[in-house]
Each structure stands twice: as C-alpha cells, then as structure tokens.
Amino acid sequence: MNASAPGPAGKPAEEDRLRADLYNYLGLVLSRPMDRMTLDQTAALQGDDTPLGRAIDALAEAAHTADPGDVRREFNALFIGLGRGELLPYASFYLTGFLNEKPLGTLRRDFAALGLTRAEGVFEPEDGIASLMEMMGALIVGRFGPPLPLSRQRDVWARHVAPWAGHFFTDLSTAKSASLYAHVGEVGRAFMEIEREAFRLAAA
C-alpha cells in the first residue's frame, strides 16, 4: 500500500479496493467456519512471489483439499471449544488478559465518533478480530459513509489493530488446533506487516 489518490468521484483507488477486499475476506473467514462455497473461492485465489503472495498460494492449496466438516471442527476448536477455544481473538484479551476491558470501551467511543454501531442481534464484543477486519474494509471503501482518507485509516489502525492483530495472527499460524486456519494466520500476519510498513512510509 502506498498513499494513493482517490478514484473518480472520490471512489477508492484500485489498490485500496484490493486492501479492503483482503480485510473483508479475513473478516469473513474469522467470523464463521468456511463453507464449501468459501473454500472453493479460497482455492481459486492466486498470489505472487512475495511473502503475502506465497501465503495466499499456500492457503489456496490447503482450501482445495479441505473438507467443510473438518473445517467446522477446526474452527470450533480454535475459537469456541468447551467453554472457550484455543484462542480468544479479542483486543481486550490480548492487551489486558481479560475480556470486555478498556480497549473495548475505547473502540466503542471511536465507533460512535465514526457513526458506527453494533448491528442488532449481534452479541459478540466489537473488539473481535473478525469485526475489526470488517471495520477496516468498510472504512477504506466507505461502506457506511465517505471513504476515510489514508491518515484517518492509519489512526484507526494504529489504535485498534496494530497493537495486537499481528500477535493474534502469529498465534493462529502456530495454534495446535490449526490446519487450514494456520494458513489464514500466515496471510493475516503478512498483511499486517505490509500495512504497518505502508502506513509508516505514508506518514514520513
């Protein structure tokens, strides 16, 4: 990602749409187990000769042979379990060791300032990794209002994603219960590293 001008009529540039697509994809596959359709779409992904591209290729190869039932059991072991899964994918837990702590309150205040509210019928804390990935994708392309300029995207990312998402994706890539989702972790970790460096360069 580099600082890029908006497209026609204030629309996001192609590069930003691609970033948003990857955020949205991560949000989707971390919110619920991949079904057959999502696995087929994942198997069709193509990367390139970069760390992120190679991680995408490995994920696509794993998705090609994955069974939806096995994926559902893997997802449950990772994130649900009996009482709790192997990982707790929430900012509050990663930053304080407890759920529903200060990071969640800070996020809710920032959500309100951006005009965002939790959807009705959703009871998961908003500081979950899937919600934050979806939020970043939405803010980049302006799903809930005008697209945020890069400086505002950087501020949101630095406050709510940067302090912990890389650690979570690293944990996911090495989790005992992870098979297919280990590759999701590698994709997420590589993407977060790209975003960190790109935001740093844009601010220089």
DSSP assigned state of 50: S
- CA distance readout (Å), 155 to 105, 109, 168: 17, 14, 20
How far apart CA 141 and CA 14 sit, in angstroms, is: 10
pTM: 0.91
Residue 121 identity? G
How do the pLDDT tens digits run along the chain, 204 residues long? Answer: 333 333 434 567 888 999 999 999 999 999 999 999 999 999 999 999 999 999 999 999 999 999 999 999 999 999 998 778 999 999 999 999 999 999 999 999 998 888 877 766 667 889 999 999 999 999 999 988 889 999 999 999 999 999 999 999 999 999 999 999 999 999 999 999 999 999 999 887
CATH number for the domain whose boundaries are 8-203: 1.10.3480.10
Q: What is the DSSP string of 67-128?
A: -HHHHHHHHHHHHTSSSS-S---BHHHHHHSSSS-HHHHHHHHHHHHTT--PPTT--S-TTB
Residue type, 59: L
Tell me, what amino acid is at 73? R
| Domain spans of the chain, in order of start | 8-203
